[in-house]
Amino acid sequence: MMALSGAEAVQAVMSKAQCLLLDFDGPVCDIFAGLPAPTVAARLRATLEGAGAALPPEVQATDDPLEVFRFSGGLGEDLNELGLSALTRLEVEAAGTARLTHGAVELLARARAWGMLIAIVSNNSASAVGAFLDREGLAEQIDYLSARSAVDPSLMKPNPHLLDQAVSRFGVDPSASLLVGDSVTDVEASKLAGVVAVGYANKPGKVGRLAMAGADLIVTSMFELADALR
């Protein structure tokens, strides 16, 4: 099915949702706005290598710290746990300079007024997400936080584990829930969980990638979602 877009499509999707699930990095904030992702990835690599890990060229080249952490899952228990603790520490540091996404506050407020249940569903650490929400005074807007806490990287999206956890906590039908995410893995996890996939195309080229991944709806601004709940 072709991904939908436009005000009428957004209104139709949002009006049916009982549960709003939000990816963190992108829809809520740019977590690496002040501490860039390539820097975090490099520091995480240095930590693992300092403990004796041998990293292949593709891990050496990636700017994505989550991909470095995914690789640590195959390095043995000690290095995997080291990767988890190091990445969590770096993400909490990054949360201190993260930049709030335009329209996120408005969406949270209107979803709350609409009566929706709201959860953050993130591959980023629960500690970092919590630190940012506290910093921005948004913690009370969130009913549940389903973010990375387990040492096992395979539980991150596109695995539907984090989405299943949130939907189960709320006791709603997955089809009455939607996930707003800016990555292909968000769309893939939504499909596996039976949740409506809303692609947030916040950068050039993402409309096509999110549509190809199977997004049900695509928006380019969080205000599109907030305006549908006026």
Percent with pLDDT over 90 in the chain = 97
- Quickly list H helices, 22-181: 37-50, 57-61, 65-72, 77-95, 104-114, 126-136, 161-170
- Looking at 95, 119, 137, the residue that finishes a domain is 95
The pLDDT of residue 26 is 98
Res. 1 pLDDT band, cuts 50 70 90? low
pLDDT tens, position by position, 30-57? 999 999 999 999 999 999 999 999 999 9
Q: Which of 201, 212, 219 is closest to 12 using CA atoms?
A: 219
If asked whether residues 199 and 108 sit together in one domain, one would say yes
pLDDT tens, position by position, 166-185? 999 999 999 999 999 999 99
| pLDDT of residue 4 exceeding 90 | no
If asked whether residues 213 and 168 sit together in one domain, one would say yes
Burial status of residue 219 (CB atoms within 10 A of its CB: 0-12, 13-18, 19 or more): buried
Res. 3 pLDDT band, cuts 50 70 90? confident
pLDDT tens, position by position, 94-123? 999 999 999 999 999 999 999 999 999 999
Q: Which amino acid is at 182?
A: D
If asked whether residues 179 and 202 sit together in one domain, one would say yes
Phi-psi domain of 214 (left: phi exceeds 0; alpha: psi -120 through 50; beta: other): left
If asked whether residues 162 and 115 sit together in one domain, one would say yes
- Judge whether 195 lies within some domain: yes
Give residue 91's domain range. Answer: 37-95
The pLDDT of residue 43 is 98
| pLDDT of residue 2 exceeding 80 | no
Mean pLDDT, the chain, rounded, equals 96
- Looking at 59, 78, 95, the residue that finishes a domain is 95
If asked whether residues 63 and 125 sit together in one domain, one would say no
3-state secondary structure of 30: strand
- Judge whether 82 lies within some domain: yes
Q: What is the domain-level CATH number for residue 159?
A: 3.40.50.1000
If asked whether residues 159 and 103 sit together in one domain, one would say yes
3-state secondary structure of 176: helix
* Averaged pLDDT, 143-152: 96
The pLDDT of residue 46 is 98
Cα radius of gyration rounded to whole Å, the chain: 17
- Judge whether 17 lies within some domain: yes
CA distances from 10 to 3, 25, 226 (A): 11, 21, 10
For residues 157 and 185, the answer to whether their CB atoms sit within 8 Å is yes
With a threshold of 0.85, does the pTM exceed it?
Answer: yes
